[in-house]
Structure formats: structure tokens, C-alpha cells
Amino acid sequence: MKKKDSNFKVAIIGPYPPPYGGISIHVQRVHYHLQEKGIEHAVYTKTDEGTANLINISQRRKWLLKYFFTAKENILHFHSIDWRERVLVGLMGFGGRKVVLTIHGESLNSQISQSNWIKKKTLIWALRNIANIIVVNPKTKDLLTSLGIKSEKVKHIPAFIPPLVKDDDIEEIPQNVLDFIDTHKPVISANASKIVFYNNEDLYGIDMCIDVCANLKKYYPQIGFVFCLPDIGDYEYFHKMKQRVKEKEIRDNFLFQTKPCQLYPIIRKSDVFVRPTNTDGDAISLREALYFKIPSVASDAVPRPEGAILFRTRNIDDLSLKIKDVLVNYEQHKKKLEEINLENNFKNVMRVYQNLESK
């Protein structure tokens, strides 16, 4: 651990793995990087670890009310998608606390558009009292400024923070997954935090991954597709997808990885990464694949980072064509990624802390 280079202490309030999802991975990596820099901090979350930096909390809203009066840290950084918790964060800001709120995905858009006028006014009042709001989606910044939040208070910082590669993370990958990867070529991977539907469609495109695997098997008989699903959620749909794998005759080519573990070791062993969502926030897994220079095919449902190869959302033919092109012209696609440098967004988060502490 490095020597301390700050005199402030940060509190991070948000989810922490397991379960593995975009927000919890982001919080974990902020924690790791703060730890590496020797910066005093505490992560308040639901956890079984209970180490010095990881503090278990239960009955979150009740705990927040108490924390309102007892917080000892200089800077309080919240990762909350619940509108009531966001109001509490605003109250803390109104009371003089230095608070930061990260808005992941498009949760605020729906909260504003689907709220009655009392809830909407209360939420806007709360947001105006927060010292800094970090958004992972630039569209959210536009929404906030349209609601009267000062532009200088809103920072667009993508959620991706590079992983600190750890032997423990690699050792957590189940042996059957490693064996599957070693005996298949090419290997494609994709992921979902859990089964979710958006506009009555499979949000993460599990169905499309199964179909594209079947399509590509005609050209690549040894193809292997690993779909990481650490929290199944909808078991009925999951069993339906397993039946789909059977019907497509790709049981030897398609693997569901359902054990909670880090995704990045699997991405690093893949030839191609796929993000076939029909909506999205700022997908950490996609940026992670690009960071490790893995050619990545993603839907055009939302703006994607530089280097991603886009296909038409929910169009299986276009997805198949784009993946096939990557495989046929693999070295060319790899070379393009070598020219792209993804920013370490932890530096930008630290800049928010430092600027806030100096005020």
C-alpha cells in the first residue's frame, strides 16, 4: 500500500460484489484504487467481509437516516438509484455535507418522467443541493442542466475503472469454464448482471447470443460461447434459454457461467466480446473488453465507446455478419484497438474529491 497522499477521508455508499454488476464492480474498483493510494476511506455496503474498509449495513434507509447525523468522513459519495435515498443525499448537502452522487444508467430519466409533480419537485430540489453529481451517460447531464442544476456541478465520468489484476480473481474462475475455453476456438463471451426485460424483450440479448452461436457454428464447428450470468433472477426464462440451446444443437458450444466471480479474466481469454443489449448505461464490461484489446461487437441502442463495432439492435443477421467479419479480419481489428487508449476514470473521480475538499 502506498503512503497517504491526502488528508481527507471518503465514505462510499453503494453495492459491493457479490452480486457482480456494473455498479458493484465500479464501487469495488474505486475501493481498490483508494486502497492502493493509501487514501482513508470506508465502503458502507451489504457485505459478509466486514474488514476495516468494508462496513456491513442492513436496513439501508434506516441506516442512512442515522448516518445523516453521525457521518465523520469529509466526503460522502453515494451510488444510489432509489429516489428516496437521492432525496436524503440532497438533504445532507443542504445541511452542509460535501456529498457526491453518481447516477448510473438512465434511472433518473424514468424517475423524472414517471413522477407526480410533488415527487418531481422534491427530487429536483434535492439534486440542486448536491455538491457534485457524476453521470456515466452524457444524456443525463443534459437532463440535469434542463432541470436547473448548474452545469459546473455535473461531471460526465464513464463508470469504467481498469481492474487491478489479482491472482485471486483468476483463481475464482471455475475449472469447467477454463476447460471449455481451452477446448474451443474461437471463444466469444457476453454477460448480464441478471435476467431483465426491457420493452418486453431480453435486455441483455441472451436469446440473441444463443442464436448467433448456432449461426456461426456452421462456419466454426469448434466455436465456444461463454455467457456469464452471476445472478439468474428469472429461472423460468433461464430454463427456456437452456432449452433453446438444446434445440439449436449447441449444448457442446454454449456455456452458462452462473458462479459469481470477476468477469475480466474470462474476457481476457476471449477472442470476441459481445454486448447485444436493447438499452444500456455505460457498459463497464464493454469498456473492459476494449481495455484488454478484445474486439467487441455491441448494439447501437445507445452511444458506445470508441473501438466498439456496432450492429443494428435486435438484428440477429447483422450481429452474425459483424462477428464473422471480426473473425475473418481478426488481426486488422486487433491492430485498430492497439491505437485506442481508454482513460483511467479513477483519476477523474479523485479530481472530484480533491476539488470538493479544497472548497
CATH number for the domain harbouring residue 91 = 3.40.50.2000
Task: Examine the domain organization and report whether 157 and 171 are in the same domain.
Answer: no
CB 18 within 8 A of CB 25: no
Query: Each residue of 270-316: pLDDT tens digit?
Result: 999 999 999 988 889 999 999 999 999 999 998 899 999 999 999 99
Task: Examine the domain organization and report whether 184 and 152 are in the same domain.
Answer: no
What pTM, to 2 d.p., does this model score? Answer: 0.86
Please give the sequence-ordered ranges of beta strands (E in DSSP) within 148-247, or none if there are none: 154-156, 187-191, 197-198, 201-202, 224-228
Q: Is the residue at 1 inside a domain?
A: no
Boundaries of domain holding 116: 10-161+344-357
Task: Examine the domain organization and report whether 63 and 82 are in the same domain.
Answer: yes
Task: Examine the domain organization and report whether 199 and 150 are in the same domain.
Answer: no
Task: Examine the domain organization and report whether 266 and 119 are in the same domain.
Answer: no
Q: How far is 74 from 70, CA to CA, in rounded Å?
A: 12
Task: Examine the domain organization and report whether 149 and 220 are in the same domain.
Answer: no
Task: Examine the domain organization and report whether 201 and 314 are in the same domain.
Answer: yes
CA distances from 206 to 167, 282, 314 (A): 29, 19, 11
- pLDDT for the residue numbered 6: 56
| Number of domains forming the structure of the chain | 2
Task: Examine the domain organization and report whether 180 and 234 are in the same domain.
Answer: yes
Q: Is the residue at 23 inside a domain?
A: yes
Q: Is the residue at 274 inside a domain?
A: yes
Alpha carbon of residue 42 to chain centroid: 21
Q: With a cut of 70, list the residues of the chain below it in pLDDT.
A: 1-6, 50
Mark out the alpha helices in 202-257 (DSSP H runs).
Answer: 206-217, 235-247
Indicate the burial class of 25 (C-beta count within 10 angstroms; 0-12, 13-18, 19 or more): buried
- pLDDT for the residue numbered 19: 81
Q: How far is 205 from 152, CA to CA, in rounded Å?
A: 37
- pLDDT for the residue numbered 65: 85
Task: Examine the domain organization and report whether 91 and 181 are in the same domain.
Answer: no
Q: Strands 132-135, 224-228: parallel, antiparallel or unpaired by DSSP? A: unpaired
- pLDDT for the residue numbered 176: 96
